[in-house]
Structure 1
């Protein structure tokens, strides 16, 4: 099957946005993070909300699409073994090596911990990080929580391949009819709306896998849907054709959500009109959120198919590098912020140094160490090194 460069490029872009997002978490007001700057801005919430609504749903949908394009049906359980190793090894390594510095700087900054890293690390390994009756559950995976989720999703998908394959065959390569297109536009929005109205208030997001019902209800259907739609030429043609309209609807929807949030923080002066108390503002905001999430996903898939499905020279390198950058980036962000915050350099200088320092650190560690060291590669999710084939002996002349 022909390589889908747009899916590879989307994966690189989506993971790259995490550097900006998690760097902004240091400076956004009213949101918890491992370390917080003295320079905080509430306005950052609005672009981060606009990004946050689709960044993780997109990654889960891309993961499903990638499986649908990989042709795994004939080697399901062999693929399950290799997939498990490629996800579990970096996850365990990250929890034991990459993530602990984040927690160390967190307890130093927030809890006044004064011990050294060696003493802290023993506490980290033995669940000993408690203060005033509050305990941090360690070892933890922090930003690496995403690695824990595709594995059970993949195993579930592999078990359901016979059913999902029949569904893919029924959809075929024809573009959706008016009825099926309407369902494809409406049903995901209704599902996401139900998750936000019913599940989210009862089961807050935890990123702890076993009790994270809201995230599972949102992410798993998108993962499976990505697999089902991956090879349907009709769906991709339809998404391309509707990309301007889905983008327009997405922009209106996020405008409604952010506008209602802004009014919640800045209510108009004077008494509110009587009719305003009768309007279900919370439900309207949830409808706008669900609509924005799905329409943004459709718009992104459509536009990327048009603009990104080409063999960019940077794509093979970035596709390999993105996994190690993902594993490294948040630890670098927290470490740089912890070092820079006491200098009080100003908001712009501090934020710029955190972002550029993180990019430089990821580049140096990946290029100079990880990708060139055979035993490190699988620890960061990279495939084993390909050794050059031994040269063939020159043919000897016939006597």
Structure 2
């Protein structure tokens, strides 16, 4: 069975990962960087954090929504056994390998930078996201296959009807508010290795699937009302940014977060749903780049911070270094060495190699 390729969703995934790299580099220039295990520059760039506070409420939730959408498309051509095997190869294997072999590398760089005794320390680090996604696949797949089996039922029709209204997609914010009320996170942006991050990711993953499941009506709605969503999100950000405590709280932030995301889905569907050679390359590269980027940016900090440049030059230098080196490693190592490909989330080449050999015979 062939499925329609959604290039806009691919672009949003690429953009979100790119922003993640820049966000992590910006942490180096914040006074609190060491509290979360980052190398810290002696010269802070606290002004960098202002735009980051806007990105922070939607960049990770967006990835959860996109992941749920990706599962919908994966399910269209796989039964549950095939899906579980495929996701184990693509998510669980890189997750386990990353804990053992990748995340310890940036911790070694951290130890070296601060002249600490070097020690091997396996940990999830930034790969917590993969662990969450795999759990969601296991937990929610039975529900998703039930919905797929009843694709013309009352629930599908009801969801599709709700999605015709501008407030329909945004109404999911109620569930995110309930999560805030139950979990009571210290900060909305504390996603990594927290119950808040787990449940907000679960909701994003579920509703990402549900959005695509509801049919074209969702995309038509977000495309039509995209600037309304972006405008609402911008207003709520300004209120949050200016510190009106009585008007801005985490319950309101759920509306801001989802408004940004819905607006981005609308913009993507309107302008980005077209193929390109650049997108094809970046779509394949973005997953392994995500896996290795922390080690590379720590290495960049190790090399550039001692040069004692202006902090903005250091930020630009580490950013350029991280992007270039990540893509060089991907292009000339991870992409080309067959045995490494599955360890970094790339498709296995084994079948193609066997097919070529059979043709020669």
Whether the aligned pair in 1 keeps the contact of 2:165 and 2:221 (CA below 8 Å) is no
Q: Go from structure 1 to structure 2 and tell me whether the alpha carbon gap of 1:177 and 1:383 turns closer, same or farther (over 3 Å shift).
A: closer
User: What residue number does 1:105 align with?
Assistant: 109
2:64 counterpart residue number = 60
Matched, 1:196 2:171: no
Could you tell me which of 169, 172, 185 is aligned with 1:184? 169
Aligned to 1:149, the other structure's residue is in SS state helix
Determine if contact 1:15/1:322 at 8 Å carries over to the other structure.
yes
2:332 is matched with which residue: 351, 356, 368? 368
Q: Which residue of 2 aligns with 1:92?
A: 96
Inter-CA distance 343–392: structure 2 relative to 1 (3 Å threshold): closer
Q: Could you tell me whether the CA contact under 8 Å between 1:164 and 1:228 is conserved in 2?
A: no
Rounded Cα–Cα distance in structure 2 between residues aligned with 1:174 and 1:189: 15
1:309 to 273, 277, 280: 273
Q: Which residue of 2 aligns with 1:130?
A: none
Once the two structures are TM-superposed, the CA of residue 320 in structure 1 deviates from its matched residue by 0.9
TM-score scaled by structure 2?
A: 0.88
TM-score with structure 1 setting the length: 0.80
Give 1:162 shift: 4.2
Residues 1:378 and 2:345 aligned together: no
Unmatched 5+ residue regions in structure 2?
none
| Separation of aligned partners in 1, 2:358 and 2:88 | 35
Q: 1:79 to 1:24 in 2, by over 3 A?
A: same
8 Å CA contact retained: 2:95, 2:130? yes
Residue in 2 that maps onto 1:7: 9
Whole-Å separation in 1 of the counterparts to 2:192 and 2:274: 35
Contact 1:35 1:334 in 2 (8 A): yes
Greater mean alpha carbon deviation, residues 97-106 or residues 303-312: 97-106
Matches within 5 A, 1:203-242: 205=190, 207-208=192-193, 212-231=194-213, 232-242=215-225
Larger Rg: 1
How many pairs are equivalent? Answer: 349
Q: Shift in Å at residue 195 of structure 1?
A: 2.9
Instruction: State whether residues 60 and 222 of structure 1, in contact with CA within 8 Å, keep that contact through their aligned partners in structure 2.
Output: yes
Per-residue deviation, 1:180: 6.0
RMSD: 2.6
In structure 1, what is the equivalent of residue 84 of structure 2?
A: 80
Runs of 4+ deviating beyond 6 Å: none
Output the CA distance in 2 between the equivalents of 1:74 and 1:348.
Answer: 48
Pairwise CA distance, 1:342: 2.1
Distance of 1:29 and 1:43 partners within structure 2: 12
- 1:90-134 CA-to-partner distances (Å, cap 9, x unmatched) read 122222222112212333445x41x4x4xx23xx3xxxxxxxxxx
- Compared CA separation, residues 215 and 177, structure 1 to 2 (3 A): closer
Q: 1:50 to 1:361 in 2, by over 3 A?
A: same
* Partner Cα distance (2:157, 2:307) in 1: 60
Which residue does the alignment assign to 1:272? none
- Structure 1 stretches lacking a partner, 5+ long: 125-138, 264-280, 394-399
Structure 1 stretch displaced more, 62-71 or 237-246: 62-71
Counterpart mapping for 1:12-51 below 5 A: 12-31=14-33, 32-33=35-36, 34-51=38-55
Q: 1:207 to 1:293 in 2, by over 3 A?
A: same
Give yes or no for the alignment of 1:150 onto 2:150: no
